[in-house]
Structure 1
Amino acid sequence: MTEQTERPLAEPRPLGEVRTWPRSFTDRLTAPLPGVRAVARLAREGRLRPGAESLRELAGLPVEPGPLPVVDAATTALTWAGHASWVVATGGLTVLTDPVWSRRILGTPPRVTPVGVPWENLPRVDAVVISHNHYDHLDAPTLKRLPRDTHLLLPAGLAAWARRRGFTRVTELDWWEAVELPGPAGPVRFDFVPAHHWSKRTLTDTCRSLWGGWVITAPGGGGRVYFAGDSGYGHWFERIGERYAGIDLALLPIGAYDPRWMLGPVHTDPEEAVRACADLGARAMAPMHWSTFLLSAEPPLEPLRRVRAAWEASGRPRGDLWDLPVGASRVLTCAT
């Protein structure tokens, strides 16, 4: 008997529900956070960003912006805006994941590739899903561009942050919880699922809000997409795949992994991402979280080289690796 049979999916919770959470989610950590010694070692080794020699690769980063695909309510299509930001058209809704349209984020050099979708080219945004509150995933200047009645779907502990900024349709969830948004083809379901990561936005709020990924399920067999946000590799991927059978596409991070001694617990490397895709039982994988901000020491194009090699070694069909350039789109063909 699979876990999916033993644990049926949760009933959707009410939209906009006001909830009370524990003061800290530290008990959800899967590895200790780096301490002062780790930060000192990182500075001593000088491995904060790619070396000057490898920065020559920046000219080869793939960018191919194009028009957003026009699809009906029975079809799911995705466009990579860069980093962990996707424009997901599903069930007749337009959903943004971790939208960052800013040129810079706190503590990081400016973008090395442009945003793949100009803001003015976006249709009306029906919902935004946020994986966690790090600045490269929760970008206040980008969210300020949205109408305040846009649905924000957030990890537990982040609703107050959004409501202080005037958003009126805010829903926060714990792991394995779900909500549904009405769409022209029927309700689109959003499930918040675990990840190996952490949260912090200021000096005093470490792990005060939760972190995780999202499973987005369109009505009527229109597609199931898993968005990982940020995560290290672990048993969660297999658990998610058992509970949410038939994932058509997994959006998985492949960058910001070097040095491994520090980043391994919280960021998958390319080989781990391919392994996670198999654990999830996903038919296809779209790499993300690379080629936008230089967050760690690996050469800019190394994640792409390594994920292609790992995918080939796995023996899976080449067409099921959606190694899209920034700005590119693809329409999801669902399993029958």
Structure 2
Amino acid sequence: MKRRSLLTVASAATVMTLGGVGYAAHRRSRNPYYQGPKSDHFDGLRFHSPEQAADKDLADVIRWQLARKGEAWPAQFPSPFPPDRPPERVPGLRVVLIGHASYLVQVAGRNILIDPVFAKRASPTRFAGPKRVNPPGIAYADLPPIDAVLITHNHYDHLEGPTVARLWQDHQPAIIAPLGNDAILKGYDDGMPVETRDWGESIDLGQGLTVHLTPANHWSARGLNDRRMALWCAFVLTSPRGVHYHVGDTGLGDGAIFREVRTRFGAPRLATLPIGAYEPRWFMKPQHMNPEDAVEALKLLGADQALGHHWGTFRLTDEGVERPAQALDAALDAADLPRDRFLALRPGQVWSAEG
């Protein structure tokens, strides 16, 4: 497999794919990433979620682009929080937003990165694609020893191959991803071990920490002709510090995926949920929650605390840079929930619990 996909940005379809929110053609008859038995969410070629919406096609992308009236973003949107310098280990639970959907989770003495992206663009190229408007909330050089890297799915704003390869070379962490993503990651370092699992499966990381893969209402693609050929997921981390439910990207759907998490694991102590990249709704609703959906997910989960991500770093869709945080406050007010129960995190912002 080539080191990186040589996509161009000659069409609106490609540009949307770079942001993980758009069109991909259906040309392949063989899955290049995963060959395995059929299941209730894999037909032998493509994966599908419990409520898989019809795939958008090029006409949908063109319709969106022709009618697009999105709010402009500033060239820079600096975080009010200084870059974090995390401790080497913590006995409790400490969570820091690096930016967009990238987190450092320190729990029960272990250090876990989720969807680490340090690049200036969420793109396979350095010259085009969504550009970062604030620096990472932790400098790469200030990372503590990393024990595990979790990848939710293969969109460029969640899977940055060069950074994962660098992490492997520098820290030798366990690298965990849904089915098929090992083939993609090994394209950046063929000696990098990647443990892949299906929905409903788990990996024991020791010291009482287990990572469970659960469904999400989303999709995958790295290029124009590999849509839904690698699996995507949410993660549940169970540890002596409680249950932490993390979603990279999802639509709300009928709420079943959230009810099932609560039934299986109990109400989470912490839920990290996406709140951005949601306009226009006719295009984004099946795959990205808006803040109102995220508050509904919080209620279904019964989580003690929620943290919001997937906003304010890379412009992927039409809403303004500050709209997700404003809409989240309004949704919490409408639901008669305290605003501090669901925080829209900024890069470098820390949330922690000692016990």
TM-based fold match above 0.5: yes
Distance, in Å, in 1 between the alignment partners of 2:354 and 2:342 is 13
| The one of 119, 141, 162 aligned to 2:185 | 162
Normalised TM-score (structure 2): 0.81
- Given candidates 299, 324, 334, the residue that maps to 2:345 is 324
- Equivalences for residues 244-283 of structure 1 within 5 A: 244-283=265-304
Q: Which runs of 5+ in 2 are unaligned?
A: 1-33, 39-43
1:212-223 map, 5 Å: 212-218=233-239, 220=240, 222-223=241-242
Contact 1:233/1:267 (CA < 8 Å) preserved in 2?
Answer: yes
Q: In the alignment, what sits opposite 1:9? A: none
Over 3 Å counting, the alpha-carbon distance change for 1:24 and 1:46 in structure 2 is same
Deviation per residue, 1:40-96 (Å, 9 max, x gap):
20121134xx334xx35x766643124344385530100000110000001211101
Identify the range of structure 1 (195-204 vs 318-327) with the bigger mean alpha-carbon deviation: 318-327
Name the residue aligned to 2:249.
230
1:164-183 equivalent positions in 2, closer than 5 A: 164=187, 165-182=189-206
Letter in 2 for 1:240: V
Q: Could you tell me how far 1:226 is from its partner in structure 2?
A: 0.9
User: How far is the alpha carbon of 1:26 from its aligned partner?
Assistant: 3.6
**How far did residue 291 of structure 1 move?**
0.3
1:108–1:295 Cα contact (<8 Å) kept: no
**Which residue identity is paired with 1:91?**
A
Q: 1:31 offset after TM fit, Å? A: 0.5
Displacement after TM superposition at 1:244 (Å): 1.4
Aligned to 1:37: 59
Q: Matches of 2:297 and 2:265 in 1, distance apart?
A: 14
Q: Which runs of 5+ in 1 are unaligned?
A: 1-17
**Cα distance in 2, alignment partners of residues 112 and 294 from structure 1:** 8
Q: How does 1:278-297 map to 2 (within 5 A)?
A: 278-297=299-318
- Write the distance in 1 (CA, Å) between the matches of 2:47 and 2:307: 30
| Residue identity in the other structure for 1:99 | P
The residue that corresponds to 2:96 in the other structure is 79
Q: How does 1:104-253 map to 2 (within 5 A)?
A: 104-106=121-123, 108-148=129-169, 149-164=172-187, 165-182=189-206, 186-218=207-239, 220=240, 222-234=241-253, 235-253=256-274
Taking the aligned partners of 1:250 and 1:90, their CA distance within structure 2 comes to 14
Letter in 1 for 2:190: G
Select the residue among 107, 111, 118 that pairs with 1:94: 111
Q: Following the alignment from structure 1 to structure 2, what is the Cα–Cα distance between the partners of residues 19 and 124?
A: 34
What displacement does 1:277 show?
1.0
Aligned pairs, how many?
A: 307
> What SS class does the counterpart of residue 236 from structure 1 fall into?
helix
- Between the aligned residues of both structures, percent identity stands at 33
Q: Deviations over 1:136-185 (max 9, x none)?
A: 10011211221343211101111222334234432111111111112xxx
CA contact (8 A) 1:195 1:212 kept: yes
CA contact (8 A) 1:188 1:217 kept: yes
User: CA contact under 8 A between 2:203 and 2:211: conserved in structure 1?
Assistant: yes
| Aligned residue type for 1:169 | P
